[in-house]
Amino acid sequence: MIRKTAYMGLFLATALILSYVESLIPFYFGIPGVKLGLANLAVLFALYRYGWKEALLLNIMRVLLAGFLFGSLFTIIYSLAGAAASFAVMCILKRLGSFSIMGISMAGGVSHNVGQILVAYLVTQTPGVAFYLPILLAAGLITGLLIGMAAKKVLNLKGAFKNQ
């Protein structure tokens, strides 16, 4: 239990560092919402190594902390929406058992973007926010695949994170 708590702290720190790294990369395509989602790497890892409860806790904590550190109250609400949508979809698909970590991560990336568009619609009351939906769908797929491949590599590391 103590060991697990320590590891959870470690993963939270990792997620925060990844959020920070992401905020440093000038990765901007002129369309809001297209980003790598590096912090999801830590969430995926926790989801596979522990379970949904631990991953959920990690997810909420990293959104709140990263929001207070690098964003504002507004960005917290916005990223919570994306994180919640993506997390719910990833958990359900993982339970189904018919997707690999890449498929789950892709579904997560796509639903993250869809969730954010829905919130943007609720905030602005303008259906026009859906204009970039096709691009955001494709972008979520690609970034999700990249993050899924990275998470798979980390999970496959022999000797790392054993005996927890």
Partner 1 sequence: MKIRKNDIRLALAVLAAALSLFGWQRYHYGKMTGNARVIVEREGEMLGNYPLAAEERLTFTDGQGRKNVMAIRDGQVSMEEADCPDKLCVKHKPIDRNGESIICLPHKLVIRIEGGEEEEVDVILR
CB of 79 to partner 1, least distance (A): 11
- Rounded Cα distance, 71 and 157, in Å: 33
DSSP state of 25: S
Q: Which is nearer to partner 1, 60 or 145 (CB)?
A: 145
Of 12 and 19, the one with the shorter C-beta distance to partner 1 is 19
> Which of 54, 66, 88 has its CA nearest to residue 14?
66
Give rounded-to-5 percent helix, strand, coil for the chain: 80, 0, 20
Residue appearing with tokens 């590891």: 7
Cβ closer to partner 1: 6 or 149?
149
Q: Residue 127 Cβ, how far from partner 1 at the closest point, in Å? A: 10
Residues that bind partner 1 (CB under 8 A): 28, 30-32, 71-72, 74-75, 78, 98-103, 106-107, 110, 120, 123-126, 128-129, 131, 133-135, 137-138, 140-141, 145, 152, 155-156
Q: Smaller CB distance to partner 1: residue 12 or 104?
A: 104
What are the angstrom distances between the C-alpha of 1 and each of 23, 53, 128, 136?
33, 14, 49, 40
How near is the Cβ of 143 to partner 1 at its closest, in Å? 12
What is residue 129's DSSP assignment?
G
